[in-house]
Structure 1
Amino acid sequence: MADLIFRTVYGLILTIIHTIYAFYTSVRSTYNITRLRIASILNYHHRTPANIRKDVALLKKLPDHVAVILESKGKKEGGVEKLIDEVADLSCWCASVGVATLTVYQKTGMLKNYETPAHRAVSERLHTYFGSTRPTFRITSPHSPNAPSLPPNGDAVHDEEEVDLEINFVAQDDGRESIVDFTRALSDLAQGGKFNSEDVSVDLIDQEMKASVMGEPDLLILFTPRVFLQGFPPWQIRLTEIFHLEDNEGVSYTVFLKALHKFAGAEMRWGR
């Protein structure tokens, strides 16, 4: 009898705690989403680079390389078209503040199959923001062919040419494949007597990871509801500043701007 009473009381307490916590998270989420939407209205840039540059004019520093994590979209959420639209917006914001490299991480690698439509969308969106003086850009993906990129005059940008904005499409498999390929190459060299295991160093691995996947981002923005890196290549974010806004569920200029402000105030201790 006593055991039954104990289990009943215990279950009741857990139910009460769960209800209170669910109510708290619901109120918190509603509050944060409402505040974010109001801020988005107040901070709207009107697709004008001058307005965006004005928003960051007082920042002491800006990232040279920004990485973002995007959520996969179902058909009800717009699918790959929505992802491409988000990439186009992010490209314009980065170009407006002078970011040289934008890395877009999408876990499944869906975007890699749509480099040409993505290129077209980014080109058109840049034209909307910048007019005929839109910046040059290039879209690349590790372990897949590169898509051509068009500068303002419409000519093709070759791989060796410099561009204003480098856009990388990265997926979960890229980090794993690069490590496997690198390990296999070292093994082959060692078996052929052309490489000594003592020559393996952090600098050597770092150089290879940057060359085969991407360089190390200065800032990683999570456009996701919770802090979850989703398999983002770990080697590239050892010293990266990571930004996440609680309860945020999509790409918005306000979140991008808040991330830049947070980065500007961050103190880089470089492992100390």
Structure 2
Amino acid sequence: MLEAVYRFLYLIIYSVFLFHEIVCEKWSDLRKYLSDLNQNITGPAMEQFVFQGLDKTPNHISFIIDETPSYKDLANLVIWCMITRISFVSFYDKKGFLKKGVEKLEYEVNERKLPSDHVFWHNQDMDDFKNGFSGRKVHVKILTEKESKKSLEILCKKLIAEETSTSEITTEFIDDSLRELYGFPDPDVGVIFSKIFSLSDYPPWQIRLTELYRLNSHYNITFNDFVNVLTKYSKCDQRWGT
């Protein structure tokens, strides 16, 4: 008798959970559909809308991905960053899925950008990069846990090869050296796409002063979701650890 009661309660709980998951999924699809009605704007109209009420925008925003990448949604983020004049965009994917599928991301970005837009992929040969481009531009870099650890290895080998004295090795020296290897400025904003607040072993020396925000997923992320993050950053009072 007691076992039958447990089974009945289990079925009720499972049914409620399943119903909740279905409702959330359909609501997400509806938000995506409604958002798509306005997301095809890539010109001055959208720029004017975004910059209203923003006192500041980040120079570098980093997205921390803890799920299988949705290339269409990540491509939207690149375009939105370009629209808001964010110069540097990095994606940190600990598992390395995005690194393997970077060509898919490039394709989706090219499908969305204007002819006058310029996207520079720093995981490729950058010999053809030149200053003086007209139009909007953004620099994109894809990071993995392996590459982050490798930068420390490269720095250690460099210090040994150059016979750097211990008196020269200060916190500032290490910081400047790692930044030079990284090639990007430290991120002003970090957006974690995960159901839990986890940095997924993101290099700690790069995010000491980074404002961190969390969203459950980048799947079906809307333009409003993106602007909400920028609005929070615009209103935050950075005290630099004081």
Structure 1 partner of 2:41: 48
- C-alpha separation between the residues in 2 aligned to 1:33 and 1:240? 34
- Aligned pairs for 1:1-272 within 5 A: 34=27, 38=31, 41=34, 45-49=38-42, 50-53=44-47, 54-73=49-68, 82-83=70-71, 85-126=72-113, 130=114, 132-133=115-116, 135-141=117-123, 146=124, 158-161=128-131, 164-190=137-163, 195-213=164-182, 214-245=184-215, 247-248=216-217, 250=219, 252=221, 253-272=223-242
Q: CA deviation at 1:43?
A: 8.7
Q: Point out the structure with max Rg over C-alpha.
A: 1
Q: CA deviation at 1:184?
A: 2.0
Cα deviation digits, residues 155-184 of structure 1 (max 9, x gap): xx7135466100001111122111111112
- C-alpha separation between the residues in 2 aligned to 1:147 and 1:91? 20
Distance 1:270 1:261, change over 3 A: same
Distance 1:176 1:224, change over 3 A: same
- C-alpha separation between the residues in 1 aligned to 2:156 and 2:213? 32
Structure 2, unpaired ranges of 5+ = 1-12
Q: TM-score, normalised by structure 1?
A: 0.69
Structure 1 partner of 2:4: none
Q: TM-score, normalised by structure 2?
A: 0.77
- C-alpha separation between the residues in 1 aligned to 2:99 and 2:58? 25
C-alpha contact 1:36 1:254 (8 A) present in aligned 2: no
SS in 2 for 1:69: strand
- C-alpha separation between the residues in 1 aligned to 2:78 and 2:87? 10
Distance 1:44 1:100, change over 3 A: farther
Q: CA deviation at 1:219?
A: 0.5
C-alpha contact 1:104 1:168 (8 A) present in aligned 2: yes
C-alpha contact 2:118 2:138 (8 A) present in aligned 1: yes
Distance 1:251 1:220, change over 3 A: farther
C-alpha contact 1:39 1:254 (8 A) present in aligned 2: no
Cα deviation digits, residues 87-122 of structure 1 (max 9, x gap): 311111011111111101111223333334432321
Distance 1:160 1:196, change over 3 A: farther
Structure 1 partner of 2:3: none
Query: What one-letter code is carried by the residue in structure 2 that aligns with 1:183?
Result: C
- C-alpha separation between the residues in 1 aligned to 2:170 and 2:220? 38
SS in 2 for 1:263: helix
Q: CA deviation at 1:203?
A: 2.1
Q: CA deviation at 1:39?
A: 8.9
**Percent of residue pairs identical:** 19
The structure, 1 or 2, with the larger RCO (C-alpha pairs under 8 Å, 6+ apart) is 2
Query: What one-letter code is carried by the residue in structure 1 that aligns with 2:167?
Result: E
- C-alpha separation between the residues in 2 aligned to 1:107 and 1:161? 32
Q: CA deviation at 1:56?
A: 3.3
